[in-house]
Amino acid sequence: MSLQTSIKNRVSCAGIGLHTGARVQMTLAPAPAGSGIRFRRVDITDRDNWLPARYDLVSATGYGTVLENDAGASIATVEHVLAALSGMGVDNATIEIDGPEMTVMDGSAAPFVFLIECAGIKRLQRARRVIQILERIEVVDGDKHVALEPSDQFSAAFEIDFDAEAIGRQAHRVVVTETSFKAEIARARTFGFLHEMEHLTARGLARGGSLDNAVVLNGGKVINRGGLRYRDEFVRHKILDAIGDLALAGLPILGAYEARRAGHTLNNRLLRALFDAPQAFEIISLDARRLSIAAA
């Protein structure tokens, strides 16, 4: 798709935040070409309430990705809705929300994909610009690593390794298109261990977490009624998170992402390393790229 996109109509939903447990209402709204993805805290009226979806506004990554602007307005747990918009090829949209954390919905990106499909996607009369990876960029932290390699398509490969019997070692790779995202990634839910959730709740976190919005393990066994949505749902959700985190580059990426035992922190460090290395990428117009290929 060589033209930028947005959604056709406004669409809203309500739900609770995974960590705050606060009930919020969210609206996806159309946005003009070139504006990118932006959040707006509609409950904040006394200062700047706009938060562009950018890697350099990430203020925390411990239990999800948090954005914060210079005025102190913030929005937490943005990765799932960003993954849905990126996976569905939406370049420009405004996300209006009346609280400090995105609604968790069912713990996956599938409900946001449904909202996007309800709103419809429209092409805008401006060429899509993308980040073409030219050189390998890698961030290593002990036995964890993330990297971006040159490629003519966006793909994601992830490997995880847990002691829990229900998880173990899992690996998955996907060339990310609208079709593959919906079929292979979007329905994968966030996950955690029962003892960890109890610990987080005691610290004032995961107040909204439940079997309705997360895969929960106890003693290495999945305790959700109905079990898993995919045999390797855990690693697929890690890919979902990575797609959302990489959307904070501000433009689609043409490159191969690979990760092992990584998370939000390393994903953000990877984007910072990329933009600190201008020789490792170029921003190109897909129209220009298509014309140059046709001429060749």
The residues annotated with a catalytic role in the active site are 264
Residue 257: half-sphere exposure toward Cβ, Cα within 13 Å: 31
Residues of 120-159 as b/e, b for ≥16 C-beta within 10 angstroms?
ebeebeebbbbbbbeeebebeeeeebbbbeeeeebbbbbb
Task: Round to whole Å and give the CA distance between 123 and 259.
Answer: 32
Strands 37-41 and 93-97: parallel
Residue with tokens 């998370």: 263
**Could you tell me if 87 and 185 are in contact, meaning their C-beta atoms sit under 8 angstroms apart?**
yes
Residues 6+ positions from 261 with CB-CB distance below 8 Å: 143, 144, 145, 159, 160, 161
- Taken in order 62, 63, 64, 65, the sign of the CA dihedral is negative
d(CA 179, CA 213) in angstroms, rounded, equals 24
